[in-house]
Structure 1
Amino acid sequence: MAIQMTLNKGRVPVRIWTREVEYAALQQLENLSRLPILEDPIAVMPDVHLGTGATVGTVIPTRSAIIPAAVGVDIGCGMNALRLDLEARHLPDNLAGLRAAIEAAVPVGFGQHRRSLLRERVHGQTPLNLAARLDVIVGRHPELLKMQRRFNETWRCQLGTLGSGNHFIELCLDEAQGLWIMLHSGSRGIGNIIGRHFIAAARKDMGRHLHALPDKDLAYLSEGSSLFDDYLEAVSWAQDYALENRRLMLELVLQALVPYLPPFQVQGEAISCHHNYVSREVHAGQSLYITRKGAIRAGAGELGIVPGSMGDRSYIVRGLGHPAAYCSSAHGAGRRMSRSEAKRRYTRRDLVSQTRGIECRKDGGVLDEIPGAYKDIDRVMENQADLVEVVHTLRQVLCVKG
């Protein structure tokens, strides 16, 4: 399908790739479209739903400003996937031990690695020169140190950890019964700290102009200011941190699989894509800051990952480079109800039923992640048939949740 709905109530049009949009989300989109910093249409993916300030599943083009709340607090959150040269027949009949091994290797929820492991893996200079770069950022914004106890130790110990909420690690099978590892996580506590700090800074920086905005969470930083430059540096750091976090998790998961599977090799490079981030890109001859809040880049030929819920299929996709979507795609199924509504509406028995045949947690602690709380991933994919093409269809057999 193509664009199914266009809003023309603001400064710029809003192009939407679905008709399934809740009223509150439509209001958010209208508010966003009224911002004076926008000159180009907004693109809205078929997994769109209510977010903070801006809707999740939205691609926002700006020329000389960035909205920190639109990037969000899980900066660089995204996906990795890789295929092994194994098939379903190589898996043990009972996957409980394998799940326990992954959970032991990769801390979940609020868990983090021990300091001893920290010294072994990321002692001194971390990959991508993260430590030295962060020192520069904190030197300009020492308030960051006050936002987390044991700041420097925590961000290091959280490298290679999953987190909670909708983050996950899965083992999946494709249409040929080939085995895949897929995971979803971001920049952990440090990304949250950076995001919250600059969201507050943007509000303060706008001063008396803040009241003119339709939502204070749409406060923006303008190009040319030192605060804008500092945010770009910090958000780039957090995006690199998220990449390294997922890379380390993949390494730990591969190690955890060794005792349970025949000898294996990875087939090709890991697919990696952010879906909460900002980047400088050229579209229609214009240099723009593209904020993808719950959307992935889907340039022509680029591989990406569009996951379903913990009980539904996921997709490896190839981008079609649609110019009206700024070469973007949905980042997943998208929620159709809030976490509190999911807990109110569903029971643990429903969770067991909806995740039948999948080795995963089936307790009340993950009830808000029940498949029924999410949109139909196949409908999402149908709605964005002009944005991506399907390369592989995956179904999970094991899911680790935070």
Structure 2
Amino acid sequence: MAVQLILNQQTQTAGKGVPVKIHTTDIDSETLAQLHKMSKLGFIHSHIAVMPDAHMGKGATVGSVIATKNAIIPAAVGVDIGCGMNAIRLSLKAHQLPDNLSTLRNAIERMVPVGFAQHRQVLAKASTLAPLDKRLRLITDKHPALRRMLRQFDATWQKQLGTLGGGNHFIEICLDESDDVWVMLHSGSRGIGNVIGSYFIERAKKEAQDRFGRAPDSDLSYFVEGSSSFDDYMQAVEWAQEYAFHNRREMMRVILEAMRPLLPKFFATKEAINCHHNYVQRELHFGEMVFVTRKGAISAQQDEYGIIPGSMGAKSYIVKGRGNADSFCSCSHGAGRRMSRAKAKLLFNQQDLIEQTQGVECRKDKGVLDEIPAAYKDIDSVMANQQDLIEVVHTLRQVLCIKG
């Protein structure tokens, strides 16, 4: 059940704040302080909803759902615009996978660039590229500085379609409770999304509009609906969200192509889910059309399917939404970090990583130590705290994981 926490009771009656409804008690003081600042924004609709995987982010809390009227905060969407998940169930059982999963991992790693890498040539079809290119040119014609922020601008965004990226992005092969095989991946809008996000975040800071009052933090700077910057940002962010969707779809195609020679012939895909968890869109809530920003949260409308991954070595879930109004029909996007990457590297060593990822074919070197399972919240507790938001359809355990 949600824990309703009114962070600013003293200013509530003066109309200077909104309630914050949190679906966990596992939340630190720094994150609460950040939510306190967010609650003071004068354009928040009804309240702020906080998911059970919440933790401190840049400007806005990761795991927060912010419904706004007549304004949008670019930093709340962030720089990995449209980051999200894609999962496909295959017509294969666990026993049909190769005995040595390292051959499968190597095959995928050869085909899917990770980190800052990109494909040597453009893989996406013209039917995908042409509409994206046309719309992007409309954006960069108005904001030519965007092209100077990304090396080999056009070649890069086109060649990065179908690539993973780094950080917490991953590709996994998982098994569900019936030993069905799933392919799951986590990625976003790559370099072009970062450029768009960074550019408009800085533009919002410089404009520092205060129609609804001065933002309590520069990273909460906003655009006001009706302004040219608002319109341009919405055009750009919608483009980046679509790009991220196509990136995941193209990557899934490449992954399946890499797997086919090593698996029984004619395996088919049975179902697919492709969902964002860093994005903004217009929705109807509490009788009004508002802009809903989900920063590290996914949509969980009634009967809508979603994906909630755990960390390396932990369970993941295919879920179905319950349409909970107080969460703005949302749920968590994963387990959520318990500690920073720097702290994880200080507290744990390579042997800890080996032990915590036992039974999973994956990298076990110091380069991914910041992604060790202990750096994340316990996924079972996170799931227990959102039973009123979603129902579990499938429980997945990974047997192979590729990190950027």
Instruction: Name the TM-score, length of structure 2 as normaliser.
Output: 0.96
Residue deviations 1:124-160, cap 9 Å, x none?
A: 5534711000000000000101111111111111100
**Aligned pairs for 1:149-168 within 5 A:** 149-168=151-170
Query: Is residue 247 of structure 1 aligned with residue 246 of structure 2?
Result: no
Query: Is residue 38 of structure 1 aligned with residue 36 of structure 2?
Result: no
1:211 Cα deviation from its structure 2 partner: 9.6
Task: Give the equivalent residue in structure 1 for 2:98.
Answer: 92
Preserved contact between residue 144 and residue 194 of structure 1 (Cα < 8 Å): yes
Instruction: Say which SS state the counterpart of residue 46 (structure 2) adopts.
Output: coil
Whole-Å Cα distance in 2 between the matches of residues 158 and 38 of structure 1? 35
Whole-Å Cα distance in 2 between the matches of residues 144 and 152 of structure 1? 11
Q: Which of 339, 342, 345 does residue 340 from structure 1 map onto?
A: 342
Task: Give the equivalent residue in structure 1 for 2:12.
Answer: none
Q: Which of 50, 54, 59 does residue 48 from structure 1 map onto?
A: 54
Residue deviations 1:59-107, cap 9 Å, x none?
A: 0000110000000000000000010010110011110010000001100
Amino acid across the alignment from 2:6: L
Backbone CA RMSD of aligned residues: 1.5
Query: Is residue 14 of structure 1 aligned with residue 20 of structure 2?
Result: yes
Preserved contact between residue 161 and residue 249 of structure 1 (Cα < 8 Å): yes
Instruction: Say which SS state the counterpart of residue 122 (structure 1) adopts.
Output: coil
Preserved contact between residue 56 and residue 62 of structure 2 (Cα < 8 Å): yes
Whole-Å Cα distance in 2 between the matches of residues 210 and 37 of structure 1? 6
Instruction: Name the TM-score, length of structure 1 as normaliser.
Output: 0.96
Q: Which of 102, 108, 130 does residue 102 from structure 1 map onto?
A: 108
Whole-Å Cα distance in 1 between the matches of residues 213 and 249 of structure 2? 42
1:270 Cα deviation from its structure 2 partner: 1.1
Task: Give the equivalent residue in structure 2 for 1:383.
Answer: 385
Q: Which of 297, 300, 310 does residue 298 from structure 1 map onto?
A: 300
Task: Give the equivalent residue in structure 1 for 2:351.
Answer: 349
1:283 Cα deviation from its structure 2 partner: 1.1
Preserved contact between residue 41 and residue 212 of structure 2 (Cα < 8 Å): no
Whole-Å Cα distance in 1 between the matches of residues 209 and 67 of structure 2? 24
1:268 Cα deviation from its structure 2 partner: 3.3
Whole-Å Cα distance in 2 between the matches of residues 235 and 264 of structure 1? 38
Amino acid across the alignment from 1:80: N
Amino acid across the alignment from 2:2: I
Task: Give the equivalent residue in structure 1 for 2:35.
Answer: 29
Preserved contact between residue 128 and residue 240 of structure 1 (Cα < 8 Å): no
Residue identity (%): 58
**Aligned pairs for 1:169-184 within 5 A:** 169-184=171-186
Residue deviations 1:237-282, cap 9 Å, x none?
A: 0000000000001000100111111024334331111000000000
- CA spacing shift, 1:64–1:247, aligned 2, 3 Å: same
Amino acid across the alignment from 1:72: G
Task: Give the equivalent residue in structure 2 for 1:285.
Answer: 287
Count of residue correspondences? 397
Amino acid across the alignment from 1:26: L
Preserved contact between residue 91 and residue 270 of structure 2 (Cα < 8 Å): no
Preserved contact between residue 87 and residue 307 of structure 2 (Cα < 8 Å): yes
Q: Which of 74, 81, 90 does residue 68 from structure 1 map onto?
A: 74
Preserved contact between residue 318 and residue 392 of structure 2 (Cα < 8 Å): yes
Whole-Å Cα distance in 2 between the matches of residues 3 and 170 of structure 1? 31
Query: Is residue 229 of structure 1 aligned with residue 231 of structure 2?
Result: yes
Q: Which of 196, 216, 222 does residue 218 from structure 2 map onto?
A: 216
Greater alpha carbon shift after TM alignment, 171-180 vs 205-214: 205-214
Task: Give the equivalent residue in structure 1 for 2:264.
Answer: 262
- CA spacing shift, 1:256–1:233, aligned 2, 3 Å: same
Query: Is residue 361 of structure 1 aligned with residue 363 of structure 2?
Result: yes
Whole-Å Cα distance in 2 between the matches of residues 160 and 351 of structure 1? 28
Preserved contact between residue 125 and residue 131 of structure 1 (Cα < 8 Å): no
Instruction: Say which SS state the counterpart of residue 41 (structure 1) adopts.
Output: strand
Residue deviations 1:317-365, cap 9 Å, x none?
A: 0000000101000000000000000000000000000000100000000
* Structure 1 runs (4+) greater than 3 angstroms displaced: 122-128, 207-212, 264-269
Greater alpha carbon shift after TM alignment, 201-210 vs 49-58: 201-210
Amino acid across the alignment from 1:146: R
Whole-Å Cα distance in 2 between the matches of residues 272 and 364 of structure 1? 31
User: Which blocks of at least 5 consecutive residues in structure 2 are unaligned?
Assistant: 9-15
Task: Give the equivalent residue in structure 1 for 2:87.
Answer: 81
Preserved contact between residue 306 and residue 320 of structure 2 (Cα < 8 Å): yes
Task: Give the equivalent residue in structure 2 for 1:325.
Answer: 327
- CA spacing shift, 1:229–1:374, aligned 2, 3 Å: same
Whole-Å Cα distance in 2 between the matches of residues 165 and 210 of structure 1? 35
Residue deviations 1:100-123, cap 9 Å, x none?
A: 0000110011110003xx1xx336
Whole-Å Cα distance in 2 between the matches of residues 207 and 240 of structure 1? 28
Amino acid across the alignment from 2:59: G
**Aligned pairs for 1:111-190 within 5 A:** 111-115=117-121, 118=122, 121-122=123-124, 126-127=128-129, 129-190=131-192
Preserved contact between residue 339 and residue 368 of structure 1 (Cα < 8 Å): yes
Amino acid across the alignment from 1:87: K
1:207 Cα deviation from its structure 2 partner: 6.0
Task: Give the equivalent residue in structure 2 for 1:3.
Answer: 2
1:212 Cα deviation from its structure 2 partner: 3.4
